[in-house]
Amino acid sequence: MRVSRLMLVTLRDVPADAEIASQQLLIRGGYIRRVGSGIYAYLPLMWRVLQRVMRIVREEMNQIGALETLLPQLQPAELWEKSGRWQGYTAGEGIMFHLEDRQERSLGLGPTHEEVITELASDLLKSYRQLPVTLYQIQSKFRDEIRPRFGLMRSREFIMKDAYSFHGDEGDLSNMYAQMERAYTQVFQRCGLTAVGVDADSGAIGGAASQEFMVTADAGEDLILISPDGDYAANQEKAVSIAPPALPLPSGEPKVIATPGQLTIDALCSAHALDPSQVVKVLLLLAKLESGDEQPVLVCLRGDQELNEVKLVNALTQQLDSPVLDLKPINAEQLKSQGLQPFPFGSIGPDLSDQHLAGAHSWRKKFYKLADTTAAELDRFVCGANTNDEHRWGCNWSDLGSIAAIDLRNARAGDRCVHRPEQSLEERRGIEVGHIFQLGRKYSQSMGAQITTNEGKQEHLWMGCYGIGISRLAQAAVEQRHDDAGMIWPLSIAPFQVIVVVANIQDEVQMALGEEIYNELRATGIDALLDDRGERAGVKFKDADLIGIPWRVVVGRAAAEGNVELVQRSKRDANVLSRAEAISTLLEAIPTELRVQL
């Protein structure tokens, strides 16, 4: 390909609305253009990168026996009603784009495909003899993200590889899950990314294994916690740890202390020389359930710990027997609109009476109470007295009534590891590029997908699902590998492997040598680009750095002696070589299996 024919438009300035380096570089380098909020055009350079990523993904999926398929993006609401997810995905903060057709039938644009595939499986799979089966597809997904941002990282239309596997028993599912884990590791490695597998939240279904693959980069939206020995890595949403021990409260008789205006843990602790670990703080939240109920929730935490909302939502979903659609702190405004008297915010204790909820218009009239284990384990502590400006010092749980204790806190960097308490967790930021998940029988049960077993019984299928964010992965590669001058593509997914830059196209010797090298490289299967534009050499070098092609051959004045300059983008060191030397260096650097022209 010749750069003059590439419709290459590069920008010198950083686009105003691009927040992170990879997004800025992809726009500046002419890889992507924003069409609308969270909607991007993949320009020819980007499409080549995506095609290379997809090729690697396909090879690894085919290798483990997965079958490629293509499912519809337009999905009837009935399927989602059958699985019970229509409401959650379309109402409130639901992310499914949905519409009505001319016959007033509701449809959704696929954010994911569990419903469609399970319906097909229940139709097509009848006997254990057909199992296991794994299907995958690569296509655009649609999600009306609450905060689309960072270009392709969180967009509203994006490319995903999703796969679904079907099994007769749990053991067979675990087997496929392990194969997928290996295939994913291969995919990310072949794409030139440093990715780590981390334990991930598997939602409220519980029990089932789930792992995310994170590309480590400061711009990552996820916080991951890793043990120094590498044996433990988890998304903070899911991570567990041993909390630092609480400082014991000095001995003394229980008493009520005046705490005027001390509404935060910090204010309370500094006024009374307390350590936050000696305090039990209480959070009040309102859980909106799929059943339509609104449940006030009271959570007790040790003063030095933070609530992990994902853990709380999972616990509530399980214990209240209905998915939690929304969870927000209760504020004075809401109390008013429920017709309730103000609560003693800032001085609330674990034993806050249900009397406070009597007369609520739509809320349930009893608090659902939970305590984090670290709070429940305190012998004596300070907590609110349920009267404004007062706390109680020296409380214990037998005075307050016990509350069910579970792990509800965020694990943090510095906490000791559960598997080896002598090690402390470290934190990194991560970009989630893949997710594998043992779904179990959740969907096969709700959608009625059954097979006849070896013994002639009817049983629900076991399922796994496995995603890779293709477009997010491509941008993550840039986030992980770039410098001040531009992108540094890994050889395996670069849009072109070599760019031949003719410094002065008016010079016939230079132009002829450039063309010859370009043709010779292409004849060996190397995907080469020829910069044949009538721009100044400096402009062409800058563009070559920006678009990040791994190797650059500069054909300049030395062409007269048959010499060229060879530059590796990642090192930016120039070597003057004869044409033959340059080509043999490239042939050595670019293995035959990567010499696939698009």
Applying CB under 6 A, the residues found at the interface with ligand ATP are: 112, 143, 145, 154-155, 158, 160, 432-435, 467, 469, 471-472
Binding-site partner at residue 510 among ligand ATP, Mg ion, none, CB < 5 to 8 Å by type: none
| Nearest residue to ligand ATP on Cβ basis | 469
- Which of 529, 496, 490, 488 has the alpha carbon at shortest distance from 596? 496
Record the tokens describing residue 105, joined without a space: 């039938």
Binding partner of 434, given Mg ion, ligand ATP, none, CB within 5-8 angstroms per partner class: ligand ATP
Closest CB 479 distance from Mg ion, rounded Å: 18
- d(C-alpha 211, C-alpha 434), whole Å: 8
CB of 275 to Mg ion, least distance (A): 37
Encoding tokens for residue 488? 């540094």
Residue among 352, 378, 430 at smallest CA distance from 194: 430
Partner whose binding site includes residue 550, from ligand ATP, Mg ion, none (CB under 5 to 8 Å by kind): none
Residue 158's binding partner, choosing from ligand ATP, Mg ion, none, with beta-carbon cut-off 5 to 8 A by kind?
A: ligand ATP
Asked, as a colleague might, if the bond just before 15 is cis with ω within 30 of 0, I would say no
Q: Which is nearer to ligand ATP, 151 or 486 (CB)?
A: 151
- The least CB distance from residue 183 to ligand ATP, in Å, is 15
| Neighbouring C-alpha atoms within 13 Å toward the C-beta of 356 | 21
- We find the least distance from the C-beta atom of residue 240 to ligand ATP, in angstroms, to be 20
CA dihedral 315, 316, 319, 324 (to 10 degrees): -130
Of the pair 199, 520, the CB lying nearest ligand ATP is at 199
Q: Which does 165 bind (CB under 5 to 8 A by kind): Mg ion, ligand ATP, none?
A: none
Structure-block tokens of residue 509: 């010797």
Whether the Cβ atoms of residue 165 and residue 183 lie closer than 8 Å to each other: no
The strand pairing partners of 564, in sequence order, are 577
To the nearest whole angstrom, how small is the minimum distance from the Cβ of residue 587 to Mg ion? 41
Say if CB 164 and CB 113 are below 8 A apart. yes
CB of 435 to ligand ATP, least distance (A): 4
Give the residues across from 306 on adjacent strands. none
d(CA 108, CA 508): 59
Q: How far is the CB of 510 from Mg ion (least distance, A)?
A: 51
Closest to Mg ion by CB, 153 or 544: 153
Which structure tokens are listed for 301?
A: 């935490």
Q: Residue 25, SS3?
A: helix
Q: Which single residue brings its beta carbon nearest to Mg ion?
A: 435
CA-CA-CA-CA torsion sign (418, 423, 427, 428):
negative
Residue whose token pair is 């085919």: 62
Residue 259 interacts with, from ligand ATP, Mg ion, none (CB under 5-8 Å by kind): none
Residue 434's DSSP bridge partners are 213, 468
Query: Based on CB atoms, which residue is closest to Mg ion, 381 or 437?
Result: 437
Taking the least distance from each CB to ligand ATP, the nearer of 112 and 444 is: 112
Query: Smaller CB distance to Mg ion: residue 303 or 469?
Result: 469
Q: Are the C-beta atoms of residues 132 and 172 closer than 8 Å to each other? A: yes
The listed partner (ligand ATP, Mg ion, none) that binds 433, CB under 5 to 8 Å by sort, is ligand ATP
Residue ranges in 152-260 assigned as alpha helix (H): 170-190
- The SS3 of residue 234 is strand
CB of 184 to ligand ATP, least distance (A): 10
The per-residue DSSP string of 506-522 comes to: T-HHHHHHHHHHHHHHH
Radius of gyration of the chain (CA): 29
Contacting positions for Mg ion (CB under 5 A)? 435
What does 407 interact with, of Mg ion, ligand ATP, none (CB < 5 to 8 A by kind)?
A: none
- Least Å from the CB of residue 527 to ligand ATP: 26
Shortest gap between Cβ of 164 and ligand ATP (angstroms)? 12
- Can you read off the two tokens belonging to residue 300? 């007790």
Select from 339, 443, 421, 387 the least CA-distant residue to 122. Answer: 443
Closest CB to ligand ATP among 372 and 432?
432
Nearest to ligand ATP of 199, 543 (CB atom): 199
Smallest gap, in angstroms, from Cβ of residue 234 to ligand ATP? 14
Residue 112 touches which of ligand ATP, Mg ion, none (Cβ within 5-8 Å per kind) = ligand ATP
Residue 116 CA to residue 105 CA, distance in Å, equals 17
Instruction: Select from Mg ion, ligand ATP, none the partner in contact with residue 202, using the beta carbon and a kind-dependent cut-off of 5 to 8 Å.
Output: none
Q: Which is nearer to ligand ATP, 460 or 472 (CB)?
A: 472
Q: Of the two residues 154 and 190, which places its CB atom closer to ligand ATP in the complex?
A: 154
Residue 271 or 327 with smaller CB distance to ligand ATP: 327
Shortest Cβ distance from residue 465 to ligand ATP (Å)? 9
CA-closest candidate to residue 394, choices 247, 256, 245, 244: 256
Per DSSP, helices labelled H in 21-169 are 21-28, 44-63, 77-83, 86-90, 114-124
Using an 8 Å Cβ cutoff, are 205 and 425 in contact? no
**Residue closer to Mg ion, measured from CB, 203 or 346:** 203
Least Å from the CB of residue 445 to ligand ATP: 20
Residue 85 or 540: the one with the smaller Cβ distance to ligand ATP is 85
Query: Does residue 408 sit in helix, strand or coil?
Result: coil
CA distance 269 to 248: 14
